[in-house]
A and B are shown apart, each in its own frame.
Chain A
Amino acid sequence: MNLQTLSVESANVALQANAWARVRRNWSVRIGGAALALLVIIAVAAPWLGTVDPTLFDAASRDLVPGQAGEITTLDGEIIKHKFLFGSDSFGRDIYSRVMYGTRVSLAVGLLAAMLSLAFGIVSGLSAGYLRWIDGVLMRIMDGLMAIPAILIAIALVAMWRGSLTTVIIAIAIPEIPRVTRLVRSLVLSIREEPYVEAAVALGTPTWKIMFGHILPNTVAPLVVQGTYICAAAILVEAILSFLGVGLPPDIPTWGNIMAEGRPQFNQYPHNIFIPGVFLAITVLAVNILGDGLRDTLDPKMAKRV
C-alpha cells in the first residue's frame, strides 16, 4: 500500500486555489467592471468625444434644451457653432462637455480617497491590532473621529483649506479612516492568533516583518471589498459637497456643481440635474456591484456557499 498517494488523495482543495478564476467568472464583477471601464474611457477620452472646453460660455446660448444647436465663444474670442447634446445651463455652458469632463473628477476622487483612507487605515489598524500598547489610545482617537458625521468633517476641512481637488480628496478620506482601522484591527486580532504567526515569532522574525509580511497579505481580500465601498461613498460625498457649494469651485465641471447650478431652474430645465444625476447613480451602482461581486468571490466566509 502506497501511503503517500493515500494522503495526497485525501487532500482537500483550499478555497483560494482559483480565487482569481472565480472573480473573473462572477457576473457582478463583469457587469460592474464593464460599466466602470466605460466610465474610465469617458474620463480619459473626454476631449475627443465631441466636447468643447467645459468652462466656455456664451450668453446667446443660455438655457438650451438637449439636442438644440447654438454657438459658443472660445477663449480666443472666436465664435463656433456647437450642438448642445444635453442642453446648456444658465451661463450658456455645454452640459454634455461638463458631464463628460466631470467623470474625471468623480473617478479621481473615488479612487484616490479610497486609496488614501486604506493606506492610513492599514497602518493604524495593523498598529492597533498587533502592538497592544498603542491600541487603547489609537482606537479612542478613531472612536472620537467616528462620533462626528462624515459630511460635517468634510465640510469643516474644506472650509479650512479652500476647495481644491487635493483638499476635497483628503477631506473625504479622513472620515473613512476609522472604519478601515476598525476593519483591519479586527482582522489582525484574529490573524495574530493563527499558528503560522506564532511560528514566525518562534523563527525570530522581526515584528515589522510579521505585520507586513504575514498579517497584511491575509487581510487583502476584505480590504479590496471595503475599498470599493469607500470609493462609491467618496464619489457621492464629493457630489454632495459640490452641490452644497462647499466642494470644488463652481467653474470646475463636477456632477455636483452641474446639479447645483441647475437647481434654481429645476422646474423648467430638469435635464440640468437629471443627466449628471444619472451618471452619478450609474457610477456608484457600478462600483457597488463590483464590490458585491468581489465580496462574494474573495471573502472566504461567503465563498463556502458557492
Chain B
Amino acid sequence: MSVLEVRGLTIALPPGGDRREAAANVSFTVDRGEIVCLVGESGSGKSVIAQAIMGLLPATLPVTAGEILLEGEDVARAGAPRLRQLRASRMSMIFQEPMTALNPVMTCGDQIDEVLREHTQLTAAERRGKILDIVREVALPEPERIVASYPHQLSGGQRQRIMIAMALVLEPALLIADEPTTALDVTTQAQILKLIQDLQKRHGTGVLFITHDFGVVADVAHRVAVLRLGKLVELGGKDEVLKRPRHDYTRMLIGAVPTLQPHGRSAEGATEPVLRTVDLCKTYHDRGWFGRRREVNAVQDVSIEIRRGQTLGIVGESGSGKSTVARCIIRLIDPTSGEVRLHGVDIARMSAAELRPLRRRVQIVFQDPYRSLNPRRTVLEAVIEGPLNYGVPRHQAIERARELMELVRMDPGSMSRYPHQFSGGQRQRICIARALAQEPELLIADEAVSALDVSVQAQVLELLEDIRTRLNLAMLFITHDLRVAAQICDHVAVMSQGRIVEYGPAAEVFATPRHEYTRALFEAAPGRDFAFGAA
C-alpha cells in the first residue's frame, strides 16, 4: 500500500484570482521508501498541495473534490483532533526557512521535546535520550550543546537539521519537504540533501519533496511530478521525465536549466579596463560604548578588472562578501581602503558632490524584483528618473524610455502602469531598462536572476547577454549559482570569507578549478553529473 495516495485533489481559489483552482484534479502516490519530487514554478500550486495533505490550508482555500489517503485514511475529511494526532506521528513537514519555522524563544531541545510530550507517554529521561539520539542521527556535532541552544545560535544548515530531527523523531510514514534547501548555501544544501536521503532510506519513510530546482530533482528523486498552474502535466520515473520529457511544458522547463559547461566565447580583449579595483577592503566595526570593539572584515584585498564588452562573475556563498564588493564599486557603501578606478580615476574616496557626475556610468540591477521598484511610481517615472536627474528634457527622456522598453522586450504602451501589475521577470526587465537609461559603461547585476523561475531566468539571462554585446557594456555579474555563472561569464572570481580565492577565465576555472573551495563548490552543485534531456 502507498504511504500517500492523492486522488483527484481539487482545491478552490478565492473568486477574482487569475484562475479558479489552486490545484485541479491532481493524482499521485508516494510509496514507502520513495522520494517523489513535486516540481513547478512559483504559483503552480505545489505548496498548496503540501498544506492540503497536512491539513494546514486556510479557510479561503477549501478542498472541493478528491481524497488524500494517508496509509489508507482520508485526511482531507479528517477533523482537527484527528489531524493533530496524525501530524508529527504519521506525517510531518519541513519548511524552506528554518529560522522562521523554529520558535526563537525556545531551545531546540525543548522544541523537539514538545513533539514527544504531545504524542507519547515517555518519561522525561526517556524523552531526553530520544532527543539526543535523533540529534545525533541528523549528524549534528556536540548533541548536548545543540539541544541547549536557541535557534539563532545555530547556522542555517544546523537549524534545518533540527527541523528534520523534529519531523522524524516519531518516525512518521510520510515526510513532506517544502523547498527545504532553497534558503541554504550550495555546500550546505548538498549535505542536507544527502541527510534526507540517508534517513529516508534507513527508516523507509515516503518523502514528498517540493522544489523548483531541477538540479535537486536530479539528485534526490525516484519519481517526478510536474505541476503547471495547478494541473499535473507529467508524472513518471526520474530518468523518464528528466531525459525524455513528453509534455511541452516539462521540455521547456528542462531546456531552460542552465548547464555547468561554460560558453565557448573567447575571453580575451585588448580594450582598456572600464573598472579596476585595487586591494579593496571593507571592514565593519561593532562599536559600543563599553566592551571590546569587534571587527568584521567583509571584504579583504579584492582586486578585479572588467573590460568593455566582457562579463566578470563573482561567485560565492552567502556572507562571502560578493555583494559588498558590488556596493563598494557603486558607492552605496564606502570602502574602508583600497581603490575603485573607473577609467583610471579613483572614486573610492570621492565626496558625494564629486561622485555625482560619475554615478551614471555604473548602474545596478538588484535581486528582488518585487522590492526594486517603488510601488507608488509608474514604470515610466522609474525609467526616466535617472535621465531627468542629469538634466535631460522630459520629452527626450520619455522617447528614450520607449526605445529601452522595446530593447528589453516590453510593450512601451504599458509604461503608465504600476510595478505590481507586472510579473517578477517583467519587473526585472524594467529594472534593466531603468539602469540602461543612464547609458552606463558598467552594469552590475547583483543576483539579478536568482529570484526568478527557471524559464524566466533563462529569458532574462539571454536579454542581459544580448544587451552586453549590443551596447558593448562591461558587466559585473554576482551570483551564488554556478550554472548561471557558467552561462554568462567570461571571467570568474570565486569569493570565500571576504577574499578572492580563485580568479581567471571562466573556461579555465570551470574546467580545472585549482582552489580547494572552488572544487568543493563544484562538487556540491546539485544535479552536476546528470544529463538533462532537453529537446
Contact = CB atoms under 8 A, between A and B. Distances in A.
Interface string B403-438: 000000000000000111111111000010011001
Interface residues of B, number: 50
Interface in B353-369: 356, 359-360, 362-364, 366-368
Given A10-B42, A11-B422, A203 B386 contact: yes
A1 B248 contact: yes
B425 A7 contact: yes
A159 to B, nearest CB: 40
A1 B332 CA distance: 40
Given A1-B249, A3-B455, A3-B459, A202 B420 contact: no
Given A7-B423, A13-B420, A199-B434, A218 B18 contact: no
Contacts of A6: 41, 455-456
Q: Is the interface of A mostly helix, strand, loop or mixed?
A: helix
B420 A16 contact: yes
A206 interface: yes
B350 interface: no
Contacts of A203: 359-360, 363, 385-386, 389, 434, 438
Nearest to B252: A1
Interface residues of A, number: 30
Interface stretch (A33-41, A43-51, A190-198, A253-261): A190-198
Interface string B361-395: 01110111001111111000000011001100000
B376 A217 contact: yes
Contacts of A202: 330, 332, 359, 362-364
User: Ordered nearest first, which 5 A-B pairs have the shortest CB separation?
Assistant: A14-B420, A11-B423, A203-B386, A195-B366, A204-B359
Nearest to A201: B332
A271 to B, nearest CB: 49
Given A7-B456, A9-B229, A194 B371 contact: yes
Nearest to B333: A198
B219 interface: no
Contacts of B363: 202-203
Contacts of B360: 203-204
Given A1-B252, A199-B431, A202-B359, A7 B372 contact: no
A200 B372 CA distance: 10
From B360, B368, B386, B431, residue with most partner A Cβ within 10 Å = B386
A205 interface: yes
B534 to A, nearest CB: 13
B366 A7 contact: no
A14 B423 contact: no
A3 B252 contact: yes
Contacts of B371: 194-196
Contacts of B418: 14
B301 interface: no
A80 interface: no
A214 B372 CA distance: 12
Given A9-B18, A11-B18, A17-B420, A205 B252 contact: no
A204 B356 contact: yes
Given A1-B248, A1-B249, A7-B425, 14 more contacts: A3-B455, A7-B459, A9-B18, A9-B19, A11-B423, A14-B418, A15-B420, A17-B421, A199-B372, A199-B431, A202-B330, A203-B360, A203-B386, A204-B390
Q: Is the interface of B mostly helix, strand, loop or mixed?
A: loop
Nearest to A216: B376
Nearest to B356: A204
Interface of A: 1, 3, 6-17, 194-196, 198-206, 209, 214, 217-218
A115 B426 CA distance: 39
B423 A8 contact: yes
B465 interface: no
Interface string B34-67: 0000000111100000000000000000000000
Interface string B436-459: 001000000000000001011001
24 contacts: A1-B248, A1-B252, A3-B455, A3-B456, A9-B43, A10-B43, A11-B421, A11-B422, A11-B423, A14-B419, A14-B421, A17-B421, A195-B366, A198-B332, A199-B366, A199-B372, A199-B431, A202-B330, A202-B332, A203-B359, A203-B363, A204-B390, A214-B374, A218-B374
B42 to A, nearest CB: 6
B209 to A, nearest CB: 21
A146 to B, nearest CB: 23
Given A199-B431, A200-B385, A16 B459 contact: no
Contacts of A1: 248-249, 252
Interface in B43-100: 43-44
Nearest to A218: B376
B386 A204 contact: yes
Nearest to B256: A3
